[in-house]
Amino acid sequence: MKLIKDSNIKLENPETRDFLADALYPETDEKLPLVIFVHGYKGYKDWGAWNLMAEKFAEAGFFFVKFNASHNGTTVEDPNNFADLDAFGNNNYSKELSDLGVVIDHFVKNSHVDDQKIILIGHSRGGGISIVKTSEDERINGLITLASVDSLERFPKNEALENWKKEGVYYVLNGRTKQEMPHYYQFYEDFENHIHRFDVERATEMAKAYVLIIHGTQDESVSVTNAEHLHLLNPNSELFLVENADHTFGSKEPWTEKELPENLKIVTEKCIDFINKNLK
C-alpha cells in the first residue's frame, strides 16, 4: 500500500500564530476517517515514536494528522526543538483549543476525508484538551485519551501560586534538553477566566462521542487513577489499562528503532480496533 505523506503543512491561526501539521494517509479513492493526534505538555508532533504510530494508522486506512500547537515552544522554522521559550511561556489552554479547531476546520475540507468520521487522540495534557474539544464540537464522533489528565487545574498551590503571581513567571526544568521552561502568569489567569470551559470532569460527562480511555499502570507522570476517574464520569466509555506501561508507553526522544515500542504497539492496535468497531 502506498502512503501519501504531507509534512510540515503551514496552518494559519489569526488568534494565535502559524504552526505546522503533518498528514499521512493511504492512496485511495475512498473517503477516510480523520484521526487527529494532540500532543501533551513539552510534546510536539515528531517526538519519540509518534511518526511510527502515524504510519500504523495510515496503513490501517485512516487519514492521520498530527500538529505542533502554536505555542508549544517549537517554531515553523525549527519544529523539533524548543527554539522559542517565550512562546512556550505564553501558551495557555485557550490557544491550544483554538489551534485544534483550526486543524479540524482545515482537514475536514480535504477531499480524502470523510467529514462524518472525526476522531481525536490526546496524549497527557492533550487528552484533557481533546476531552474539552469533544464536548464543544459535535462533529467529533470518537475520542481516545492516552495517559490523559482528569483535570486541567495543574498549577502551583498556595505560597507557590502567590510567588508566581508576584514574579510573573515560574520555570520548569526540561530533563531531556536541560532548558528552563518559563510559564508566565497569564496561563493561570486564562484558566481562571474560563474555568467552566476547562472543566474536564463536566466535559467528560457531556461527551457524546465514542470514548476509549487508555493508560499505563506504571505511569510516573499522570497516575492511572486519572483514567479510572474519567471512566467513572463517562460509564459508556471503554477503559483499557496497559500493564506496566509508563507515561509514553515505552517511547522516548529520540526514538531510533524501526519498530514501535511494544506497549505503544499494543496501544496503537487497540485504538485502530476501537475505531474500526465503532466508526469505520
Give the number of domains in the chain: 1
| Residue 159 falls inside a structural domain | no
Whether 164 maps to a domain, the answer reads no
H helix runs in 66-124, sequence order = 85-89, 93-107
Q: CB–CB of 181/170 below 8 Å?
A: no
Instruction: Supply the pLDDT for residue 37.
Output: 99
Is 187 within a domain? no
CA 193 to centroid of chain Cα atoms = 23
- SS3 label, residue 23: strand
Encode pLDDT of 212-267 as tens digits.
999 999 999 999 999 999 999 999 999 999 999 999 999 999 999 999 999 999 99
Cα separation, 131 vs 38, whole angstroms:
11
Enclosing domain of residue 138: 3-154+196-278
pTM for the whole structure: 0.99
| pLDDT surpassing 90 at residue 202 | yes
Q: What is the CATH number of the domain that holds 82?
A: 3.40.50.1820
Let me know if residue 122 belongs to a domain.
yes
Residues 6+ apart with CB under 8 A from 11: 18, 19, 20, 21, 67, 102, 103, 106
pLDDT of residue 1: 86
Mean pLDDT, the chain, whole residue set:
98
Tell me which residue of 142, 172, 176 sits closest to 273, measured CA to CA. 142
All three cell numbers of 198, joined, read 476547562
> Which pLDDT band, with edges at 50, 70 and 90, does 280 fall under?
confident
Average pLDDT over residues 163-190: 98
Report the percentage of the chain scoring pLDDT > 70: 100
Q: How far apart are the first and last CA of the chain?
A: 19
Question: Is residue 134 one of the residues assigned to a domain?
Answer: yes
249 grid coordinates: 508507553
Look at the block and give the residue holding cell 517511547: 251
Cell numbers given for 193: 477566566
Give the whole-number percent of the chain exceeding pLDDT 90.
99
Give residue-wise pLDDT tens across range 110-160. 999 999 999 999 999 999 999 999 999 999 999 999 999 999 999 999 999
CB 19 within 8 A of CB 107: no
Is 226 within a domain? Answer: yes
Cα gap 240→97, rounded to integer Å: 26
